[in-house]
Every structure is written in C-alpha cells, then in structure tokens.
C-alpha cells in the first residue's frame, strides 16, 4: 500500500464592509463589523458546522491511533479571527499539535498573492506568519504551502531562499509529461527543493464529489476508497490535500462525511503496512545544509535530491478550477486592475509608517477579494458563486475599488 499524506487548509478572509463612494474620507473601518457582523457571523457558523466537529473528531482519532498523522496550515488572518470569535478552535488546534502527530505548515500571513508580485512583501508575510504560529503553537514550520497551492519555478526559489525544506503544490498534467504524480519531485531551484503533489482525483472525490448523487461512483464508501488507494505501489505517495471546511461546511454532516473519515482512518490503519506521513518526515530525507564556507552540502539524509525527477513549471499553477492556473484570481480587467494597484502601493504604504494603513493594505491583498471578481462560468462559475458574499463579480469589484480609493485618500 502507498503512503498517505493528509493536509488541510484553514482560512477565512476578512470580508469588506459595504462602503459607498460618499463614504470615502469618512474614516470608516473596512473590515470591522459595523452592523451586520458578517465576519463574526460567518466564522462562528463555520465553527459550529465544521471546525468544532472535525477538530474534535481529529483529536479523538489522534489519541486513539498513535500512527494517525495529519498536517494543516492556517492563514494568519484565520488565526486572528479564531482568537477573537471562537477561541475553542485555537484550543483544539493546540491540543492536536501538542500530540506530536500533527504538523503545522507555513504560508503567507494574509493568504495573499505576494509571491507573484513582491518578493519583499512575500518574505515579510512568511516571517509574520511563522512568528504567530510559534506564539500560538510553540513550533516553527519547516515546510511551506503557498496560497491556493500557487507554484512556479520562480516561487520554488523564493521558498528555498527562506529556508524551507520543501513545499506542496498541484499535479498538473501539462507539466507532468506523463509521469506519476505519486512520486516526490524536485523544483527548478538552486538546491532542487523537494515537492509533494496533490492527488487531485482522490482528494476531490472527498472534497467535491462525496455528496454528488449524479457522480457515477456515488456513494463513496470507505471500502471503495481504500481499494482505489490500494491500487498504488508501496513507493507511492497519495497526497490528499483539501480545504478543512470540506468536513461539515462543503459536505454537510448529514452526508455522512464525518463517519466516512473516521471509518477511513480506522480501516486504513488496520493494515499494519499502511502508513500516514507528514511532509517534514518525507522532506527531511532530502534535507541539505551549508558548510562553514557557505557551500551547499548534503546532510546524513539517505536520499539524494539529484535523483528526484524535476517538475519544471515555468508558468504559475494552482489547485483552483479546471485548468489549475491563476485565472480564478487573474483573468479579467477587474482583477488585473486591482492587483496592479494594490501592489503598486507597497512603497507608499510602508513609507507612511502608519500601522493601521499597513494592516489594511495587507488585508486587501487576501486572494479572496480577487476570487470574488472572477467572471468565469460553466463548471468553475458555480464554485465561485458559492464562495462569494456578493451578488456579482461587479459588486465585488465596485466595493473593493471604493475601499482602495479610500486607502489612497488616507495616505495623502
């Protein structure tokens, strides 16, 4: 049987308040709840439907099965909201990390697209995220996971330069060249950063298709799922990467998703040859370090990075939508315009030394704002509409543009 790596992403954006043109210059807060309490309401709703029941189940499984392991990352703004709106979420996460069977990954603090636009901002957000993770959980992440698994050759080098020993991303057929997605790859970076690629089909069978009665494989049983996993070889890695909200929010409790997951872990571990792994366990086999001269040398790791197949990704990819590209956030004039403007403000914003302006500028980088502006239709359009708090992409663009205009006004 192959090894299974379970990874969950925890993220909630700060949604924008409904500002109008006439509000510009009136010193209104863009994100704090001014009546509808949208951020608190959404966070607590998902807490009750997903975070508490799934984290409680994971805690039960971790303490019941010493060989059960999983990995998660949480954006900095998720952790901020959890501390403010639902401290029980933080308590549950801390108890899981304390078990020693759960790994925490690094990511950008504001779930941003900074890796595509600003190396300096990217580095700042990683440092701020690592600082918060250390403060809350007492650990320092060794592996990086970029926003929406966005990755390219250039990003591999950025991640390597920050000292991370590996990263996660999507397996995209156009760059795999017919090779198996279940192996460990090397990035096109100086030291060949190791990569683990998401198994999209098996991940999405749970994340998206589990309750779809029109799916030809419905219903998905644990026995069927284990049979699919068991078709791979011992040397394969089945990387099941999905949003945490899969459990209870995207797939509601009455679909049986919690029972499915619990039974899956139990049945998987009944076979003594089956193994859950974490990214650090895998990547440490390929770890490198520097000698006193600054030259890169191999550690006592048992595997050579030079033996890994290279995953050459010249254009950025992600785990979003059918094409696994950037068009969820960067496809139309609305998105290009607002992304250019927000990152063009970097120097001017930082020069203000005004911490509230800098905070708001960073919150405006959150990828969700641009996702809401997407005008794609067909298969992807339904997904975008489901996640958006706005009636249309045009409303998302209008609200963001007004806030952006106000931010610029504050810097005068």
Tokens of 314: 């010249």
Q: What is the pLDDT of residue 251?
A: 97
CATH assignment of 3-307, given 3.40.50.720, 3.20.110.20, 3.40.1160.10, 3.10.450.230? 3.20.110.20
pLDDT in tens, 358-375: 999 999 999 999 999 999
Residue stretches of the chain with pLDDT short of 50: 290-295, 297-300, 378-381, 384
Distance, CA of 196 to chain centre: 14
What are 3's two structure tokens? 């090894």
pLDDT at residue number 298: 46
CA angle 244, 329, 109 (to 5 degrees): 50
Two tokens at 233? 């070889």
Alpha-carbon gap, residue 376 to 393, rounded angstroms: 10
Q: Which residues pair with 310 in a beta bridge?
A: 186
Catalytic residue numbers, as ranges: 148
Q: What is the pLDDT of residues 283-296, one digit of tens each?
A: 999 976 544 334 45
| Single pTM value for the model | 0.93
In sequence order, what are the residues at sequence separation of 6 or more whose Cβ sits closer than 8 angstroms to the Cβ of residue 208?
250
For position 293, what pLDDT does the model report?
Answer: 39
β-pair partners for 241:
7
Domain ranges of the chain: 3-307, 333-410
Note the pLDDT of residue 334: 96
Q: Cis peptide leading into 219, omega within 30 of 0?
A: yes
Structure confidence at residue 32 (pLDDT): 72
pLDDT at 35: 55
Q: Which residues pair with 393 in a beta bridge?
A: none
- Cα–Cα dist 181/198, whole Å: 8
Residue 381 pLDDT? 43
Token pair belonging to 402: 């007004």
């Amino acid at each position: 049987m192959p090894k299974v790596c379970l990874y969950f992403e925890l993220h909630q954006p700060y949604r924008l308040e409904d500002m109008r043109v006439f509000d510009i210059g009136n010193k209104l807060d863009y994100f704090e709840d001014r009546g509808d309490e949208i951020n608190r309401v959404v966070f607590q709703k998902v807490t009750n439907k997903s975070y508490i029941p799934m984290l409680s189940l994971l805690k039960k499984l971790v303490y019941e099965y010493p060989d059960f392991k999983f990995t998660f990352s949480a954006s900095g703004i998720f952790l901020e909201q959890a501390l403010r709106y639902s401290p029980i979420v933080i308590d549950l996460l801390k108890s899981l990390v304390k078990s020693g069977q759960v790994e925490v990954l690094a990511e950008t603090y504001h779930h941003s697209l900074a890796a595509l636009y600003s190396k300096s901002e990217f580095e700042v957000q990683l440092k701020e995220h690592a600082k918060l993770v250390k403060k809350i959980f007492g650990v320092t992440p060794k592996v990086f996971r970029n926003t929406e698994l966005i990755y390219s050759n250039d990003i591999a080098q950025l991640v390597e330069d920050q000292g991370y020993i590996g990263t996660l991303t999507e397996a995209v057929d156009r760059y795999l060249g017919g090779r198996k997605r279940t192996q460990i790859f090397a990035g096109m970076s100086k030291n060949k950063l190791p990569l683990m690629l998401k198994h999209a089909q098996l991940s999405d069978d749970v994340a998206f298709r589990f309750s779809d009665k029109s799916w030809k494989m419905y219903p998905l049983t644990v026995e069927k799922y284990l049979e699919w996993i068991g078709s791979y070889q011992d040397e394969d890695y089945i990387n099941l990467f999905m949003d945490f909200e899969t459990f209870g929010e995207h797939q509601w409790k009455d679909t049986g998703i919690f029972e499915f997951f619990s039974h899956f872990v139990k049945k998987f571990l009944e076979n003594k040859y089956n193994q859950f792994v974490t990214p650090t366990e895998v990547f440490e086999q390929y770890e490198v370090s520097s000698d006193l001269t600054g030259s890169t040398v191999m550690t006592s790791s048992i595997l050579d990075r030079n033996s890994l197949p290279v995953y050459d990704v010249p254009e950025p990819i992600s785990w979003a939508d059918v094409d696994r590209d950037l068009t969820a956030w960067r496809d139309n004039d609305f998105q290009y315009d607002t992304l250019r403007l927000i990152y063009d403000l970097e120097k001017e914003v930082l020069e203000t030394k005004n911490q509230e302006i800098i905070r708001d500028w960073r919150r405006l980088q959150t990828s969700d704002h641009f996702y809401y502006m997407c005008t794609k239709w067909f298969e992807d359009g339904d997904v975008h509409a489901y996640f958006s708090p706005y009636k249309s992409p045009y409303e998302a663009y209008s609200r963001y543009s007004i806030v952006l205009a106000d931010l610029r006004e504050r810097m005068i």
